[in-house]
A and B are shown apart, each in its own frame.
Chain A
Amino acid sequence: AQSVTQLDSHVSVSEGTPVLLRCNYSSSYSPSLFWYVQHPNKGLQLLLKYTSAATLVKGINGFEAEFKKSETSFHLTKPSAHMSDAAEYFCVVSLKTSYDKVIFGPGTSLSVIP
């Protein structure tokens, strides 16, 4: 069975310090992996996507994620947090079955302290 685990339900960082949001997945197949961000009362915005090309993926707003197959991880990082980064972040696995089977992690709430 496929699943996504986000190891921290809440992360708090100071503005200007690094951000690390952790994600582990379980899949019998080679999945595509995504990070989405959701600001309060908004829809989901795609941050970045991994699809078996380069293992280090660069996304929007300075975020990047590294795919590590041996660790089944896809952690999201940013060198310096900004106040506008405060939001809910979802790690997502997508599998090509008879349809695009998409599984969301439970989410990590990021707070940025001024």
Chain B
Amino acid sequence: ETGVTQSPTHLIKTRGQQVTLRCSSQSGHNTVSWYQQALGQGPQFIFQYYREEENGRGNFPPRFSGLQFPNYSSELNVNALELDDSALYLCASSSTADTQYFGPGTRLTVL
């Protein structure tokens, strides 16, 4: 049991809509990373937050944005949804060490 939780488990949206995904990090962890995992592929890094600031970003457009709160929980927001945004979105938390612990993910389907 890693202690990282994500909500919701599943979500269905239509093109052009906006979505917010949530993540609660493991106790004592101050860093949260988000990943997109398309079907049959490995996770792709979206961005990372450390103490409420974005400190790293992968190759994703600005319509992917995030927040980290003082309790180190986090949100991933995606605007103007596209069909290709359909994927499993994974959140991972870590402390000053580099081991990331993953949540169960949110399955997003865009119709």
| Also in contact, A96 and B48, with CB within 8 A (given A43-B105, A44-B43, A106-B41) | no
A44 in complex: contacting residue of B56, B98, B102, CB < 8 Å: B102
- Closest residue of chain B to A49, judged by CB? B99
Residues of A within 8 A of B56 (CB): 97-101
How far is B56's CA from A100's CA once the two chains are assembled, in angstroms?
A: 8
Residue pair B43, A104 in contact (C-beta under 8 Å): yes
The reply on A90 being an interface residue by CB < 8 A is yes
Number of interface residues of B (CB under 8 A): 26
Residues of B within 8 A of A96 (CB): 98
Number of interface residues of A (CB under 8 A): 25
Among B95-111, those with CB < 8 Å from A are: 98-105, 107
Residues of A within 8 A of B50 (CB): 99
Q: Indicate with 1 or 0, residue by residue over B36-63, a CB within 8 angstroms of chain A CB atoms.
A: 0000011111001010000110000000
How far is B50's CA from A99's CA once the two chains are assembled, in angstroms?
A: 8
B41 in complex: contacting residue of A49, A51, A107, CB < 8 Å: A107
Among B20-43, those with CB < 8 Å from A are: 31, 33, 35, 41-43
| Also in contact, A106 and B42, with CB within 8 A (given A45-B102, A99-B50) | yes
Additional pairs, 8, CB under 8 Å, beyond known A42-B104, A102-B100:
A41-B107, A43-B4, A43-B104, A44-B43, A45-B2, A51-B98, A90-B42, A94-B100
